[in-house]
């Protein structure tokens, strides 16, 4: 397993790197190009590392029967499912403009593909640094092979699938590309806290031998930070300007302040993880003196006296003989005169 994966010329993700936070705009722009640009502005201001869009070739992705189904959802943007999906797509030229605009703000531009033609555009025209494969396509091996052979890092989402299917998919991809990060995801919008199951992240690391990320469909801003504590190197969160807007994903999204907090909390957790070994820093070493305890003289002890329990006790501060040696001192002699109520140091008793 690679400990780090490069995403773009100056950014790495993985062990030792700050969490990579993605604002998933997806289809929350509701088909409005201008709204999308405002969302990119807000996400950049919140400090995200990347924004992510979605690109579909509608007739290639869905059967005609599926597209012709009447669509009566309260958030529908058309009378049929096909009209609804077409209303949420941008032109290729709009994608070029959005990419340039995002890069001008110092933020990476990513796009999830949902079909072969879409991925060809994302790879060959947009030349993104990493490819995101959405949960439905874990079993679409022809599509997985196509994306893997691009040779770029792959973010593989896992919602709706069994551990066996996920393991098989990762094994298949590794035949062509070993730069994989597996995302834990639950396909509910939003997902209740009790169904998040963040411990799956540790299972993924142990069984799949890959880096892991978290695609957050939960309702808050703290759970992504907890995912970082469990090893997630990437946090992906749906993003909106207003959770009350019409659309299927807004309720499971965060607004700009929420995204800012996700970035802040995820980074703070990463910084706090530190090393696996327990070490005392210089501040703790000083604190050992101030707050610690030492063997102390209970009464005046003349030089040469054999130490007995009536001679010593334990008091603050630290820096003297450790109380773990308390009983070992019995029967030894004082090497000098020791006044009452004084810290006893190494060498004072031998």
End-to-end distance of the chain based on CA atoms, in angstroms?
Answer: 55
Q: What are phi and psi of 78, to 5 degrees?
A: -170, 165
3-state secondary structure of 349: strand
Exposed / middle / buried, residue 267 (Cβ in 10 Å: 0-12, 13-18, 19+): middle
| 104-140 tens-digit pLDDT | 999 999 999 999 999 999 999 999 999 999 999 999 9
| Predicted confidence (pLDDT) per residue in 180-216, tens digit | 999 999 999 899 999 999 999 999 999 999 999 999 9
Residues 207 and 211: their CA atoms lie apart, in Å, by 11
Residues paired with residue 11 on neighbouring β-strands, in sequence order: none
Evaluate whether 45 touches 30 at the Cβ level (below 8 Å).
no
Helix residue ranges per DSSP H, 211-326: 223-229, 256-273, 282-291
Query: Could you report the per-residue pLDDT of 312-326, keeping only the tens digit for each?
Result: 999 999 999 999 999
Burial classification of residue 327, based on how many CB atoms lie within 10 Å of its CB (0-12 exposed, 13-18 middle, 19 or more buried): exposed
User: Measured between alpha carbons, how far is residue 103 from residues 46, 192, 208, 336 in Å?
Assistant: 15, 35, 33, 74
- Residues 78-88, buried b or exposed e (16+ Cβ, 10 A)? bebbbbbbbeb
* CATH number, domain 280-350: 3.90.1210.10
Question: Are 51 and 43 contacting, i.e. CB atoms less than 8 angstroms apart?
Answer: yes
If you average pLDDT over residues 207-236, what whole number do you get? Answer: 95
How do residues 34-93 score in pLDDT, each as one tens digit?
Answer: 999 999 999 999 999 999 999 999 999 999 999 999 999 988 999 999 999 999 999 999
The two beta strands, 20-26 and 232-238, are parallel
Considering the chain, what is the average pLDDT of its residues? 95
Element (H, E) at 221: none
CATH 1.25.40.10 is held by the domain 4-273: no
Predicted local confidence at residue 186, as pLDDT: 96
- Cα–Cα nearest to 212, from 194, 199, 196: 199
Q: Give residue 2's pLDDT band: very low, low, confident or very high (50, 70, 90).
A: low
Residue with tokens 């209970």: 298
Contact partners, residue 44, CB within 8 Å, separation at least 6: 51, 102, 105, 106, 107
Please compute the mean of the pLDDT values over residues 296-321 and round it to a whole number: 97
In this predicted structure, the answer to whether residue 249 has a pLDDT above a threshold of 90 is: no
Confidence of residue 28 (pLDDT cuts 50, 70, 90): very high
Strand, helix or coil for residue 35: helix
Find out whether 248 and 222 touch, Cβ atoms under 8 Å.
no
* Annotated domain spans of the chain: 4-273, 280-350
Per mean pLDDT, which range of 164-178, 220-234, 268-282, 288-302 is the poorest? 268-282
Please report which helix (H) or strand (E) contains residue 63, including its range: none
pLDDT of 1 over the 60 cut: no
At 279, the pLDDT band (50, 70, 90 cuts) reads confident
């Amino acid at each position: 397993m690679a400990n780090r994966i490069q995403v773009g010329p100056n950014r790495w993700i993985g062990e030792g790197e700050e969490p990579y936070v993605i604002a998933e705009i997806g289809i929350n722009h509701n088909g409005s190009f201008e709204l999308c640009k405002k969302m990119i502005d807000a996400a950049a201001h919140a400090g995200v590392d990347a924004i992510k869009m979605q690109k579909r070739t509608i007739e290639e992705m869905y059967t005609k029967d599926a597209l012709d189904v009447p669509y009566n959802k309260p958030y529908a943007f058309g009378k049929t499912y096909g009209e609804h999906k077409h209303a949420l797509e941008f032109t290729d030229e709009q994608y070029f403009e959005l990419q340039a605009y995002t890069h001008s703000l110092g933020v990476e531009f990513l796009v999830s593909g949902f079909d072969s033609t879409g991925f060809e555009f994302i790879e060959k025209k947009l030349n993104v640094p990493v490819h995101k494969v959405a949960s439905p396509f874990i079993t679409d091996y022809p599509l997985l092979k196509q994306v893997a052979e691009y040779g770029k890092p792959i973010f593989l989402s896992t919602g709706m699938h069994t551990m066996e299917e996920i393991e098989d998919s990762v094994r298949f991809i590794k035949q062509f590309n070993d730069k994989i990060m597996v995302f834990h995801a639950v396909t509910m919008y939003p997902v209740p806290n009790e169904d998040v199951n963040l411990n799956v992240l540790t299972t993924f690391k142990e069984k799949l031998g890959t880096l892991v990320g978290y695609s957050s469909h939960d309702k808050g801003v703290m759970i992504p930070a907890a995912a970082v504590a469990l090893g997630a190197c990437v946090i992906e969160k749906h993003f909106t300007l207003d959770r009350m807007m019409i659309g299927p994903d807004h309720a499971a999204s965060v607004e700009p302040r929420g995204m800012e907090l996700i970035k802040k909390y995820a980074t703070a957790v990463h910084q706090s993880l530190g090393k696996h070994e327990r070490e005392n820093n210089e501040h703790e070493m000083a604190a050992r003196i101030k707050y610690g305890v030492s063997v102390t003289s209970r009464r005046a002890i003349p030089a040469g006296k054999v130490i007995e329990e009536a001679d010593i006790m334990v008091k603050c501060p630290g820096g003297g003989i450790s109380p773990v040696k308390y009983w070992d001192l019995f029967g030894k002699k004082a090497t000098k005169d020791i006044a009452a109520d004084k810290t006893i140091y190494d060498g004072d008793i031998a």
